[in-house]
Structure formats: structure tokens, C-alpha cells
Amino acid sequence: MRIFTAALATETNTFSPICIDRRAFEASLYASPGKHPETPTLCTAPITVGRRVAAEKGWILIEGTAAWADPAGLVNRRTYEDLRDEILDQLRAALPIDAVILGLHGAMVADGYEDTEGDLLQRVRELVGPEVLVCAELDPHSHLTNRRVAAADFFVFFKEFPHTDFVERAEDLWRVAVDTLEGRVTPVMSVFDCRMIDVFPTSREPMRSFVDRLMQIERHDADVLSLSVVHGFMAGDVTEMGTKMLVVTNGKAEKGKALARELGLELFSRRGTYRMPEIDAHQAVAQAIAAPSGPVVIADMWDNPGGGTAGDATVVLEELLARKATDTAVGTIWDPMAVQICMAAGEGAEIPLRFGAKSAPGTGRPIDGIVKVIKLVRNAEMRFGESIAPFGDAAHIRLRGIDIILNTTRAQSFDPSLFSAMDIDPGSKKILVVKSTNHFYASFSKIASEILYCSAGTPYPNDPAKTPYRRARRDIWPMIADPHGPDQGV
Ligand SMILES: [Zn+2]
């Protein structure tokens, strides 16, 4: 067997002011064919798992480009077209092949392309013809468009949020692909449109039990090859935005359709109950200061660079300063200009500095003060599960008893190693502030005395009922109360 694999991924918050071009991919991950590192990035596990499977099988794996940019705003048109065409040219040169196995995200929007993954998959299909297996692993924070379903044989999405399972799901993807190529199964996709948009953390109920049940069905029902909840991505203003239930069966389209509907309606029936309880900055800081022990982790959950925001909001920090909190560390505030100034000043210098809140309205005010530059690191990195996440040149500064990490490559706060990389001992602090909606949970819950989910300012469109969408459909919950009701003609 000859199998082609490649990855092209980012998550586009169409409301974000941080538009990106090729440099953003190069800053996060750009690997030319064969140059992908041994450890996978979020959306590139099909390549690393593929190397293992191909070696075991004695098959030929032809690697194309792997490119991943951290979530941001609109992707430059030329950047998308160049990366897409680079991969398509590699695929063309690799023909004839038996399968195309891709790592995608599913929520990339480029200037002029509302559905980049649909565009890429359709071009792949046109190139390889109807007989070649085309499949992909994707992030559930994505848009499952009709165009994508029509172009591919099957998809596997991560089940966990935080996405701790991207390697396991790549293994699922390859298992089904191998079974297909060896003639044991014929994957067929059935999709149910849940007509909703919500946030579904699997680190808590009721989503935890729902995902456990999906895995149980996968284990016990031989007709079911894979089940995925496509959460949808509410910050992507595209026409097919929304939550979908995907069932991949072994040639049982009718059974798949019924199961997708049953599971999708069950998911819908608990709408509005999945999110973590959110408190404002005032409450979060008061509660953290009053806590008997630390570290209390305050998640500045909606200023999450992992959701495409700048990650430079200062609302929580302003509150900490106002309350005279000490023994506190904030990681991170994105401000390349301030980092440049700190780098010029050098470690140990005390300087006047303005930083933060430059990207967008609703992110607070820039902070002014005399800061001490404690530690400077070029190309700083933190861990994220089995992979490494860069956060760029970074400065650890101290302002009125608060340690703050300023960074240049926007990155959400995945792991406490973010702090240790900057000479801050996270376990010894009373309060830690992180920029992450939920990915921080897997690692920070191990050291936290308490976790507070804080909704501070308005850096992210987190209330779909109020978000001024221009393209997304409005016939879904919570824009309307009951889209599956009798008048809606499901
Ligand atoms: Zn995601």
C-alpha cells in the first residue's frame, strides 16, 4: 500500500483582530515532507501514528507538508492557497496511491474561503478519484460542512475537551483506515444536525458520561466504527456553524442515521447544562484571596489564545492590583512590544513599562508601572501532554508583588511548565492566573487547591444568542428556543 499523509490546520476566530499569514504557521509548526518531529502537535498525530502503522505493515507512507498555526483570526488568502497547493502538488507527485490520511482542524477560515477544509478535501478527491480512501482526524471545535462529508470517506474527531486524546483518535483513524484498505470494512458517515451551539467540556458532567457512553457503544456494537460529537465553533461566523453528531458505520447507513439522531437529540436535550459555572473577575479575585491555601487557579477562560483571541486582556490583573494581591503569578499576557523593551533593558533592570490590552475592545486597559525584569527567555516553551508548545521570546516581570509573564508567540496556558520555564515555581504561589478555557485543566488540576472559571471582559463571542453573526445561521439554539419543535420541520 502507498499512503499519502499531510496536515494543514488552524482554528479561525473570525471575530479576532489577529489576522495571520505564513509566519504564524512557521512560528507554530511548519514541517516540510519528512521533517515532522517525532512528537505530534494537536492536529498532526495522523503523521506520527502513520509512521508507526506503516512500519508495522511494511507499507509506504509518503509524507507531505505539515503546517499548524495557533488559533487566531482570518488566514491570509495567499497563505492558505500556497499551503493547500503545496500539499496538492505533493499528492499529485505521489500518485498512484491507495489512501489519503490527513490531519485537519476543521475551523480554518481564509480570506475568500469560508470552508477551507471542504475546499482542500474536494480538491484531494478530484485528484485521487472516487476509489481512493480519503479520511481525516479533526478537532471537534469545527464546522462539519456538507462539502466535507461529500468529499471524504470518514472522519474521526477528538472526543475529549481538553483534547488529551488526539493521539488515541489518530490511532482510531488509522485502525479504521487499515481495516478499510484490507477489505474488512466499508466506512459510511451519517450526520445528525443538533441545531445548537454550545460548549462541551468533557472534564465534567453531563458531557463526561455522554462521551463514556459513546466509547462503550464503539466497543460493543460491531457495526459502529467511530462516533464523534462535532461541538461546533461559535467564534467562527460561517453559514454551517453548529453542533453535529457523526456516526461512522460499517456500511449501515440507515442504522447510522438512526443512531446519530438518537444521540444528537440526547445531546440537545441537555443544552445549556454543559458549561462550567462562570464568575466575574471581581468574584474570582476575592475568592482566590480568601482561599485558605493555594495555588488557586483562575482561568481567564474567554481570553484564550487557543480560541483565537490575542491573550492580552488585563481585566483580571487590574482586579488583582486593585485588591493588592501578592504571591501571584499571571501567565501569560501577549505583548511583543513590551517584551522587546524588556529584552533591551536586560535581567535585573527596573523600568517604566506599559503592557497588555492593545488588541481589541473589551480586554481592559493597558497596565502602567515600574516593573522589575526578573527573567528573559528566547524561544520559551511549555509542555502540552506529549507535545511541546512554544510561546516565543518571553519576559518574567514583577509589578507590585505580582509575577507576570509577557510573551511574543500567542499561546494558551496548557501546563504549569509555562511558569517553571520562566523561573516561577507554580506550586509555591497562592494564585495562578492562566489564559485558557479548559485545556489547562488536565495539568493544572494536579497542582491546584481550587479552580475558578472567570469570565472577564468581552474578548471572545461566548454568548451566541447575542453575538452579531453576519453569516452563521440563526435557526439554532440558543438563537431560537426550540429548533426541533413542531414548527421547525426537522
Ligand atoms: Zn478544540
CA of 142 to the centre of ligand 1 (A): 8
Q: Answer for the pair 29, 66: CB distance below 8 angstroms, yes or no.
A: yes
| Grid coordinates belonging to 43 | 492536529
CA of 300 to the centre of ligand 1 (A): 17
CA of 160 to the centre of ligand 1 (A): 9
CA of 261 to the centre of ligand 1 (A): 23
CA of 374 to the centre of ligand 1 (A): 34
Looking at the DSSP assignment, which residues form a beta bridge with residue 434?
A: 299, 331
CA of 84 to the centre of ligand 1 (A): 21
- Closest to 412 measured CA to CA, from 312, 295, 332, 325: 332
pLDDT tens-digit readout, 274-291: 998 999 999 999 999 999
CA of 162 to the centre of ligand 1 (A): 8
CA of 139 to the centre of ligand 1 (A): 5
- Closest to 71 measured CA to CA, from 127, 28, 116, 33: 28
CA of 10 to the centre of ligand 1 (A): 10
CA of 59 to the centre of ligand 1 (A): 31
Per-residue three-class SS string for the chain:
CEEEEEEEECEECCCCCCCECHHHHHHHEEECCCCCCCCCCCCCHHHHHHHHHHHHHCCEEEEEEEEECCCECCECHHHHHHHHHHHHHHHHHHCCCCEEEEEECCECCECCECCHHHHHHHHHHHHHCCCCEEEEEECCCCCCCHHHHHHCCEEEECCCCCCCCHHHHHHHHHHHHHHHHCCCCCEEEEEEECCECCCCCCCCCCHHHHHHHHHHHHHHCCCEEEEEEECCCCCCCCCCCCCEEEEEEECCHHHHHHHHHHHHHHHHHCCCCCCCCCECHHHHHHHHHHCCCCCEEEEECCCCHHHCCCCCCCHHHHHHHHCCCCCEEEEEEECHHHHHHHHHHCCCCEEEEEECCCCCCCCCCCEEEEEEEEEEEEEEEEEECCEEEEEEEEEEEEECCEEEEEECCCCCCCCCHHHHCCCCCHHHCCEEEECCCCCCHHHHCCCCCEEEEECCCCCCCCCCCCCCCCCCCCCCECCCCCCCCCCCCC
| Per-residue pLDDT in tens (0 to 9) along the chain, 490 residues | 999 999 999 999 999 999 999 999 998 899 999 999 998 989 999 999 999 999 999 999 999 999 999 899 999 999 999 999 999 999 999 999 999 999 999 999 999 999 999 999 999 999 999 999 999 999 999 999 999 999 999 999 999 998 999 999 999 999 999 999 999 999 999 999 999 999 999 999 999 999 999 999 999 999 999 999 999 999 999 999 999 999 999 999 999 999 999 999 999 999 999 998 999 999 999 999 999 999 999 999 999 998 899 999 999 999 999 999 999 999 999 999 999 999 999 999 999 999 999 998 899 999 999 999 999 999 999 998 877 888 999 999 999 999 999 999 899 999 999 999 999 999 999 999 999 998 899 899 999 999 999 999 999 999 999 999 999 999 999 999 989 976 554 4
Query: For position 389, what pLDDT does the model report?
Result: 87
CA of 163 to the centre of ligand 1 (A): 7
Strand pairing of 328-334 and 431-434?
parallel
CA of 97 to the centre of ligand 1 (A): 30
Give Cα 237 distance to the centre of its chain.
Answer: 16
Place of cell 477551507: 116
Query: For position 490, what pLDDT does the model report?
Result: 43
CA of 179 to the centre of ligand 1 (A): 27
CA of 95 to the centre of ligand 1 (A): 32
Query: For position 487, what pLDDT does the model report?
Result: 57
CA of 175 to the centre of ligand 1 (A): 22
pLDDT tens-digit readout, 184-221: 999 999 999 999 999 999 999 999 999 999 999 999 99
CA of 389 to the centre of ligand 1 (A): 15
CA of 420 to the centre of ligand 1 (A): 25
